[in-house]
Structure 1
Amino acid sequence: MTSAARSLTEPRVLAHTKRRLFPADADGGYVVVDTQFSSDRWLANETIDPGVKEALAPFNHVRIGSGYPDLVGVRVLGDDLLAVDRLGDEPPLVAVEAKGYTDGGGVDIERGIVQAYDRLNEANAVYVAAPAGAISNGARTLACELNVGVLGVDSGGAVEPVEVPRIVGNRTTTETNAIRFQASAQGVANKSFSLNHPKNYLAYPLAVFHSDDTERVLSERVVGAVAGARTGAAFLNLIDEQPDRVRLTPLGREVVRFGRREYGSADAALQVFDEWKQSRKRFADLAPKWGMLTRRVVYAYPATQLLVEELQHMHEDGIAEPTLPLLVEYLHELHPSLTVELFVRGDEEVRSRVLDVDGKLLRDELMDGDVYHSPTVFQLKAMLYHAGILTSRGAEPSNLDPGADVWKLREAIL
């Protein structure tokens, strides 16, 4: 066995596999690697190369089945990686167990197959990835019987399917939903709410419906940052961005109906938006009817429902004015994977600071505003404030004092 082949330790096998299944230039999808790979050392005498750690990021500790797969993600896979056509319209949730050469020179691929099989109750497709030279016929037979895909990795980084799995249906859990959420159009991973006032997003369906050019009427009446308004409107499920056009969703059409009912036409409704430029007053107080509509739209955003329900529970537990670190700690106990995806920036340095190798929160790091995800602590919080849900607006991470940042319901139920 060459030294190049022996260099295929588990982190390197996983990094090559991630590049194959979730290439950086692919459209859509989202993937995380388990926090154990954020460690600086893997084998007794070998550190994890910084380039490998960078390739593996972001890290999260996602429970699927009875354990934590090395990699979990959501993406449409190529036909060469699956035995049959995809199940339904949604991209599959994929789990991977990686095995590489250990200090003793062996590769425990059979154990990886059994671990991968355990994930099938909650994943649509599972794989074990291992050095190609270590994959025996017996391992292939076992994997085939258990519907586990096998990926062979060579020392040059090429990854080829040896056995391909069938897509299966599954049940979803809070943990798997965290990854599905990030892979959806409403996830906060690779995009963001770039504007912090909901009027900029509510106006977009009206501008789409308007007879004039969407971008021109929006920039003249509402906000110059048209691309940001469009992205936020998609996040809030007001529009569906197609390759050749923008389509109003049912929720977006309801915004148009409301505007026409209140003002007679989309044009007249947008004229009112022009009058609100530069206003810092809470939107629910400035325009109560629009505020109620904002509340409905923002509450339809999946993250809002989770936040409001758990803030209510905190209120019932006697925590009337939770700070941001306290909220994150509380949520992490109940919804660990989703909390990390929602609040913590995804780059390798930040996730490694906030989570230890077992996925536990390092609480002292939560006092640094720079670790937080801006679309949640700034833009989403500001919209919840304008909708009349929270008592205070958000702040940019660079200006954020987490210990003084209060997340309090304006109308908690006593």
Structure 2
Amino acid sequence: MGSAVSLSEPRVLAHAKHRLFPDIDGSNAYAVTDTQFATDEWLSDRPIDEELRSRLTPFNHVRVGSGYPDLVGVGALESDLLAVDRLGDDPPLVAVEAKGHTATAAADVERGVIQAYDRLHEANAAYVAAPVDAVSQSDRTLARELNVGVLGVHEDGGVAALEVPRVVGNRTSNEAAAIRFQATAQGVAEKSFGLNHPKNYLGYALALYHPADTRDVLTTHVVGAVDGAKRGASFLGLVDERPDRAVLTPLGEEVVRFAVNRYASVETALEAFDDWKRSRKRFITVAPQWGLLTRRVLWQYPATQLLVEELQTMFDDGIAAPSLVDLVEWLHVHHPTFTVELFIRGTGGVRERVLDADGELRRSELADGAVFHSPTVFQLKAMLYHAGVVAERGAEPHRLDPTTDSWALREPLHAR
């Protein structure tokens, strides 16, 4: 086998990931590697070094079809990777199966083609990635017949598209939908929320509509962290960030209409924000109507409804004040992929600690506040607190005790 043994499955997958998603930090792109690769060794004898693991991160265990692909991602692929440019306006959901050489056997490409084909029940495009010298003509013929793409990986890391698939319009499962969600402007990232009071995001929508300079207006009346307010407003779906400017979405326009209806002008509405600078009081208490508006805006954010529904179900089952650990464990049973993406950081080796090779949670690791996404456990929870949804505000991860951090609903419904 010679030096080709170096093209192990993890390394093949890393090269394929880079070929498919070279700008993973760009807009509308996100990909996760299966948790079986979040290990120190591959096949018990070949180490996965830190550099390789960092290229494969983040990790999650995402069910697509009847199994768990080695890689699941969403992104606008380069034209030479697909038989058609796109399907509709959304980038395709892609599943990848990787096959690599071992010390005793060559990559089983045919098996990879069959596995990738199974993913087409729910993915828009599926690929098998393998060392180029292992791909036979019969493998390519089978892949072509099954509409599976073939990525041939060279020893130097180059990747050739030997067969390109057609994009299909299959239904996306709830688990795979969590990955598609992460590729949108509302997907949870370390910088999705930088501010923990909802007034800053509502205020950005008003300042954007105001005829004067947005930055000056926001700094004068709301908050000096203009970029953070803009990013959070985009995250909540109040504004759409385009290459040349930000524009109000229909939801953002409703915030403006509310302000004009209540104050007669946006300028007068913004003057009211002066009174709330640096306020730590619950927003729905000091400004009830704005608090209710915040609640409606937060309800449009996809995670809010799921969180409230599951917290209510926990209450119905006798868990009135679940800790953060309780909540994450509960959610992971019913919505594993979404739970990991919403709560667990994807950087710094965190998911390697929290998830085992089968994607199950290691409960002991959840006691460390540092494993959690700050935008969820601090900023989002703080906004749910200000909107009157949960009883307690959020805490920064370094100050967080997940075993006592309460996620109780402020107004749970009692059984009738």
Q: TM-score, normalization: structure 2?
A: 0.98
* 1:91 paired residue number: 91
% of aligned pairs identical?
65
- Residues 97-122 of structure 1 show CA distances to partners (whole Å, capped at 9, x for unaligned) of 00000232221110000000000011
Separation in 1 of the partners of 2:50 and 2:266? 54
8 Å Cα contact 1:34-1:61 kept in structure 2 = yes
Aligned to 1:162, what secondary structure does the other structure show?
A: strand
Separation in 2 of the partners of 1:44 and 1:338? 30
* 2:254 paired residue number: 254
1:27 deviation in Å? 2.0
8 Å Cα contact 1:57-1:348 kept in structure 2 = no
**Residue 240 of structure 1 pairs with residue 240 of structure 2:** yes
8 Å Cα contact 2:94-2:126 kept in structure 1 = yes
* 2:115 paired residue number: 115
Q: Structure 1 residues 139, 320: closer, same or farther in 2, change over 3 A?
A: same
* 2:213 paired residue number: 213
* 1:185 paired residue number: 185
Separation in 1 of the partners of 2:162 and 2:286? 62
Separation in 2 of the partners of 1:88 and 1:348? 35
* 1:324 paired residue number: 324
1:49 deviation in Å? 1.8
Separation in 2 of the partners of 1:245 and 1:393? 33
* 2:12 paired residue number: 13
Separation in 2 of the partners of 1:152 and 1:347? 29
- Residues 39-80 of structure 1 show CA distances to partners (whole Å, capped at 9, x for unaligned) of 111134311122111110000000000000000000000000
* 1:126 paired residue number: 126
Q: Structure 1 residues 25, 91: closer, same or farther in 2, change over 3 A?
A: closer
1:318 deviation in Å? 0.6
Aligned to 2:95, what secondary structure does the other structure show?
A: strand
**Residue 71 of structure 1 pairs with residue 46 of structure 2:** no
**Alignment map for 1:299-378 (pairs within 5 Å):** 299-347=299-347, 349-378=349-378
Aligned residues: 413
Aligned to 1:370, what secondary structure does the other structure show?
A: helix
Aligned to 2:46, what secondary structure does the other structure show?
A: coil
* 2:21 paired residue number: 22
**Residue 32 of structure 1 pairs with residue 32 of structure 2:** yes
Aligned to 1:128, what secondary structure does the other structure show?
A: strand
Separation in 1 of the partners of 2:361 and 2:189? 19
Aligned to 2:94, what secondary structure does the other structure show?
A: strand
* 1:56 paired residue number: 56
8 Å Cα contact 1:43-1:103 kept in structure 2 = no
Amino acid at match of 1:243: P
Separation in 1 of the partners of 2:85 and 2:39? 38
1:25 deviation in Å? 6.4
- Residues 189-233 of structure 1 show CA distances to partners (whole Å, capped at 9, x for unaligned) of 353200000000001111011010001100111000000000000
1:181 deviation in Å? 1.0
8 Å Cα contact 1:44-1:103 kept in structure 2 = no
Aligned to 2:102, what secondary structure does the other structure show?
A: coil
Separation in 2 of the partners of 1:119 and 1:348? 29
Amino acid at match of 1:11: P
Separation in 1 of the partners of 2:130 and 2:348? 24
- Say what the alpha-carbon RMSD is for the aligned residues: 1.0
Structure 1, unmatched stretches of 5+, are none
* 1:146 paired residue number: 146
- Residues 261-314 of structure 1 show CA distances to partners (whole Å, capped at 9, x for unaligned) of 100100000000011111111000000000110000011100111100000000
Structure 2, unmatched stretches of 5+, are none
1:348 deviation in Å? 5.0
Q: TM-score, normalization: structure 1?
A: 0.98
Separation in 2 of the partners of 1:44 and 1:367? 29
Separation in 2 of the partners of 1:199 and 1:284? 11
* 1:197 paired residue number: 197
Aligned to 2:223, what secondary structure does the other structure show?
A: coil
Amino acid at match of 1:387: A
